[in-house]
A = this chain, B = another copy of it.
Amino acid sequence: MINKNKKNFLIILISPSGGGKTAIFKKILADNTEIKYSVSYTTRKARINEINGVDYNFVSEEKFIEMKQSGDFLESALVHGYWYGTSKSYVISILKNNHIIMDIDVQGAKQIMNSEIDQITIFILPPSREVWLERLKGRGTDSDEVIQVRLKTAESEIKEIRDFQYLIINDDLENAVDNIKTIIKAEENRIQRYKNIEIYYGG
C-alpha cells in the first residue's frame, strides 16, 4: 500500500464507548504490516505481559511533564492518576516510512485535529442504537452508575460526529475493515500527498 512517491499520513479511528473499534483496529494492523501502530506514552507502570516500546512507551512522570511542556504531545490525558499521550516527534518519525494508525476517543482526536500532522479521521458506530446500548451495559461487571456515565458520555460524543471525515457502521467486521482499507487507499490518491508532480509534468 505504501508508495515512496506519496506522503504517508496518520489514520485516526474514533468511536464512542461501545462502538466496537478495538476489533477493527486489531484486524487492520494484522492485515497491513506496513501500517504501524501508534505507541502511546504513559506514566503508569508496565503490567507483567506488556513490553516497553510495543504496548506503551513507559516513562516517568518527570519525563512526561517535560515532554508535555516542550509541546511534544499531539494529545494527552490524565486517567485515574496516570498520564497518557501521543508524541508528535514519534508520529513524525514513523510517517517517514509508514502510515501510522491510532484508536482514540473523541476528545483525544479533537486535540490531534488541531495539529498540522497530515491525518484522516474515521468514526466507527455500532450497527444500531439497540446493539450499542447492549454493549454499553454489556460486560455485566459494571454498576448501573458506571453504565449511566458511559451512556451519557457516548451520547454527548455522538453529537460531535459531523466534525470527523468518514463514518463506518460496524455491522460486520470484515465489511468494516474493507471499508477502512478502501478509505486509506483512496486517501493515498489525494493530490496533496503526491510529491513532485509538477517536476515530472510541468515542463
Contact = CB atoms under 8 A, between A and B. Distances in A.
Interface in A118-134: 123, 125, 128-129, 132
Interface in A150-173: 155, 158-159, 161-162, 164-168
A128 B125 CA distance: 42
A154 to B, nearest CB: 9
Identify whether the interface residues of A are mostly helix, strand, loop, or mixed.
helix
Interface stretch (A39-47, A67-75, A103-111, A190-198): A190-198
B192 A183 contact: no
Nearest to A130: B200
A79 interface: no
A186 interface: yes
Nearest to A166: B189
A202 interface: yes
A31 to B, nearest CB: 16
Contact of A166 (B164, B191, B202): B191
A192 B185 CA distance: 20
A99 B197 CA distance: 29
7 contacts: A129-B201, A158-B198, A159-B198, A161-B191, A161-B198, A182-B186, A186-B187
